[in-house]
A and B are shown apart, each in its own frame.
Chain A
Amino acid sequence: MRIEQHPVLEFRRGKKIKFTFDGKEYVGYEGETIAAALHAAGIRVMRESPVLHRPRGLFCAIGNCSSCLMTVNGEPNVRICVEKLRPGMVVESQKGKGVVYAAGN
């Protein structure tokens, strides 16, 4: 869902671009955050909690709370609420604390 018209805010959207999330292709607008594009695509679960593995959604949306950490282009623990979408990005939901090195790299 996207707000198309707003009484106060004006949206200047960039051009439409493609990215993937967990292997599936999505479309978003260049310059918006990854979280905004995923939210617009109906994706609400951003992460699972580290100890009890319960779903976590978008919470602070300003890069403070760690609720939306994902692996982006292979880099773990990216705060997707403040990371801007770029063409061809490979976004993956992250289980656990993030893998910075896998044998064979």
Chain B
Amino acid sequence: MNRHEVIIIGGGVTGCSIAYHLAARGMKDVAVLERAYLTSGATGRCGAGFRHQWGTKTNCLLAKHAIARLERLAEELDYPGGVEIKQGGYLILAYTPKMEEQFKKNLALQRSLGIDARWVTPREAREIVPFLNTEGLLGATFCAKDGHANPFKVTDAYARAARRLGVKIHTYTEVQDIKIEGSLKTVITSRGTFQAPVVVNAAGGHAAEIGRMVGVDLPVVPERHQILVTEPVEQVLGPMVMSFYHNLYCQQTPHGSFIMGLGDPNEPKEYNVRSSWQFLSQMAQKVVWLLPVLKNVRVVRQWAGVYDMSPDRQPVLGEVPEVPGFYVAAGFSGHGFMIAPMTGQLMAEIILGLPTTLPVDMFSLSRFTTGELFVEPSVV
């Protein structure tokens, strides 16, 4: 029997960040349980971007604080070699008057929160990306401080820092059931039994399954998203180019490879991480239309992962009122990686009963019963 103060289920960037932030605040008797290897879920399959350009105040603030932490993460966590930060901006393209209107609303919100994002004309967009196909483009929004970080390194940096502080990380340890007696939770895994008064569900696409083990109905569903990566070439693309119209994004990593993904509005809500030839074909056609220089760049591999989608595309953060000591950090809906530094900090503050750095009430699970949703409009 392994007895701890806190058990975190999920060894993605969120779980590792929560573990680190708890330990850094003195709660060092923490175990992280991961069914496969660290980053094996959504973290290691994500598009590796971070942006300030969101459509709700909470996401803008989360992103702003999180990105400030990412920029200095290597120093904060003493991680030599860094986490491959590249701040070439995000260029978010508008093709319809409705999009332009929404984006300009977003910009007003972002600027009111001190985020330096701006509207650019198609001509200015071509100054940022000279080979951008501007056919049909009405304009775009651009924030120069948006960019790329390596999700494997960010997670590794948090995991190593957490271990140094005494956190135990158990990989290939799959949670099979959770039993509750009084305040004590017994977590039965493929590698033995763990006990703690506090359990944190950071299981991403598996969060609803974990919730069911304690009788909690989490409205978080897995949704497959596919990605591909090309061979590396010399740097030519500064920003992440994102089009909600084409439902795609594409960026060039510091290594030189292009990483790109496509959302499919008809994707069934199920756990599926297989990749498809249809994606390869559609992705190639759409991205070559938008960024013609990619036509001769070779694809190295493609893969898929799941977003943990919530009804309003916002995370669920906090304790489940019916199950004291059971906390949820899930439902990130495709932007869990970039806000993970703040997720970890806020969750640690919530669990330890400290004042939270940012308001967190709106992330509570109860919003789905009271109907107080706050839909994030800007998700691919």
Contact = CB atoms under 8 A, between A and B. Distances in A.
B234 A103 contact: no
Given A75-B296, A77-B298, A101 B130 contact: yes
Tell me the interface secondary structure of chain A in the complex: loop
B233 A98 contact: yes
Contacts of A75: 296
Interface in B63-122: none
Tell me the interface secondary structure of chain B in the complex: loop
Contacts, number: 31
Q: Number of contact residues on A: which range applies?
A: 10 to 19
Contacts of B236: 99-101
Interface in B109-164: 130-131
A44 interface: no
A96 B234 contact: yes
A20 B216 CA distance: 70
B310 to A, nearest CB: 39
Interface string B227-245: 0000111101000000000
B132 to A, nearest CB: 11
A101 to B, nearest CB: 4
A4 B197 CA distance: 80
A76 B233 CA distance: 8
A98 B234 contact: yes
Contacts of A101: 130-131, 236, 293
Contacts of A76: 233, 296
Given A75-B296, A77-B298, A97 B130 contact: no
9 contacts: A75-B296, A77-B233, A99-B236, A100-B233, A100-B234, A100-B296, A100-B297, A101-B130, A103-B130
